[in-house]
Amino acid sequence: MVENVKELLKLHESITHEVYLDNENSTIVPQEVLDAMLPYYNKKAYGNPTLTHKPGWEAFETIMGCFGKISKYMGAKNLEEITFTPSETEANNLAIMASCFAQKDKGKKIVISEIEPINVLQVTEMMSKFGFSTTKIPVNSEGFINLEKLKEAIDSQTVLVSIAAVNNEVGTIQPIKEAVDIVKTKNPNTLFHTDASDAYGRIPLNVQQLGVDMATVSSFKIQGPRGIGAFYLKEGVNLERILEGPIGTQKLWPGVENTPLIVGFTKASELAFTDFEANVAKLRGLRDKLVDGIFNELTDLRFNGPKGDKRSPDNANISILRCEGEALTIELSLKGVYVSSGSACSRRLLQPSHVLIAIGRIFEEAHGSILMKVTRSHTEDDISYVLDVLPSAVNRIRGIVGSTGVH
């Protein structure tokens, strides 16, 4: 395996233009974010924010400022409603496990959509060990949840609903406020969580206006550093902590706060929310140029998810028939274009994307899907380069499939 990877990397040595579109699974951190982080490793605020000396006080002041900014960007009431976690995965685990344990005497039912992120699906499945059951709400062909089915699912035993604000694979912008109203009308005690990682920085997001009790956002999804995320908990909602250890500046997550990563996350947020409308317009323009160009050059395609304003502006997910997705990611990589085939989590399980299957795609369509996400760092030239190399890569793979008779 190691030798195969070394050989593959050697084949990339002559690449002169690289376009990274796999921003679902990791990201390139802009220089401005790196520059903001570096001083906090060895020049200032490198202390533990709970300790009584200058580096500790500097760290405390820095982190409090970051709490305030992230709470503002999320539309929270105050900075005490924000907790920094090591990632979106940990924040989703915190939301689901902590809320279930805190309400275990009120009921044992969880409700989610059938296209939730893998980490939500897995932690709700794990909660069955503690006697909790999970009901999955179906979606339509564009990935929108069935609100009538949601209404039917809520009962006196429902302690938690978790529905992502934007689907991470097909970009569907869910009607979260409408869903919250339905849930709270049927059972005011049911807590509502949304994974807003693919909404944050790309569509207007205000947790107070949505009415959610909890929300999750991720740093790397907006070109911040990996290893940091944020969790919103509405004032007055009580949860049980799921980890134990020394408590620093936040009650729900023990341990020493990672000041450089928190600073990097905050800087990435500042870049996303400064000139927000212009940033979103740029994302949408680049995404539309990419999608339109692919559909102009190739046939036998399926566009996955909704179009227009109902879709996140950065997201493009296309199924290319007679072209296996994994083979295409390798072929494009050799040309310096980096995409993913469905979600990385699904790929490692060697299964078709559960999201694409849920919206009605057959296995062939799901296995032939590629997921691309543009960022504000991309240029028109980057998209033009992708459109130059992608059709030939697809046609080459289709030619191999046709000549061998393999489908």
User: What residues act catalytically?
Assistant: 345
Q: Strand ranges (DSSP E) for 289-389?
A: 301-303, 315-320, 337-338, 369-373
Report the C-alpha gap between 100 and 198 in whole angstroms.
24
CA atoms within 13 A on the CB side of 52: 0
Report the C-alpha gap between 153 and 151 in whole angstroms.
5
Report the C-alpha gap between 319 and 360 in whole angstroms.
12
Structural contact between residues 145 and 174, judged by C-beta atoms closer than 8 angstroms: yes
Report the C-alpha gap between 124 and 179 in whole angstroms.
19
Structural contact between residues 186 and 154, judged by C-beta atoms closer than 8 angstroms: yes
CA atoms within 13 A on the CB side of 407: 5
Structural contact between residues 151 and 182, judged by C-beta atoms closer than 8 angstroms: yes
DSSP-based three-state secondary structure for 3: helix
Q: Which of 397, 405, 406 is nearest to 325 (CA)?
A: 397
Report the C-alpha gap between 353 and 344 in whole angstroms.
9
Which residue reads 């944020």 in tokens? 230
Q: Residues near 343 by Cβ (< 8 Å), separated by ≥ 6?
A: 24, 25, 118, 168, 169, 353, 355, 371
Q: Beta strands 337-338 and 82-85: pairing type?
A: unpaired
Q: Residue type for 379, please?
A: T
CA atoms within 13 A on the CB side of 123: 22
